[in-house]
Amino acid sequence: MSVKKFMYVNRKAPYGTIYALESLEVVLIGAAFDQDVSLAFIGDGVYQLTKGQNTEAIGQKNFSPTYSALGDYDVNKIYVEKESLEERGLTLDDLQHLVWEDEDDDWAEKDSIRLVSRAELADVLDEQDIILSF
């Protein structure tokens, strides 16, 4: 069976709604299916990746550490829209540093996050076979 291009589009902030958490659950399960997986963080979706989340006082589970485990599941194409960050006064430094180890390059550690312009992201979306939206 041929491999399909799966894209998970994340546009919602974490904790205010459950979509970020449950989207991550699909991504983890989906990683076992050996498809060509990408994640896009657009609009408020970029807030899912901020450093230093501490949910103790709101009584919800802090699921942000899970993003750093994605590399271990071979989920390493994480597109972050540049314009979305800028509109929100954020830079890459405000986000977690997500990495993966490249088996084909002597396990070199590489960045998972690809900062892309809106136009570049439009091209990436256009190539997908299956787009899951949350």
Partner 1 sequence: MKISIQVNEGPYQHEASDTAYQFTKAALAAGHEIFRVFFYHDGVNNATRLAVPPQDDRNISAQWSELAKENNLDMVVCIAAAQRRGIMDPDEAKRQGLDADNIAEGFRISGLGQLIEAGIESDRLVVFGD
Partner 2 sequence: MALLHTVNKSPFESNTFDTCLGLAKDGSTILLIEDGVYAATTGHSVAEKIKNASGISFAVLGPDLQARGLEGKLADGIKVVDYEGFVTLVTEHDAVQSWL
The site for partner 2 (CB under 8 A) is made up of 9, 11-17, 42-44, 47, 50-58, 60, 62, 64, 83, 87-90, 94, 118, 121-123, 125-131, 133-134
- Closest CB 8 distance from partner 1, rounded Å: 11
Q: Which of 51, 42, 45 is nearest to 21 (CA)?
A: 45
- Rounded distance, CA 27 to CA 22, Å? 9
- Closest CB 64 distance from partner 1, rounded Å: 14
Instruction: Give the distance, in angstroms, between the CA of residue 38 and the centroid of all CA atoms in the same chain.
Output: 8
Q: Which CB atom, from 15 or from 100, has the smaller least distance to partner 2?
A: 15
Q: Which CB atom, from 29 or from 108, has the smaller least distance to partner 1?
A: 29
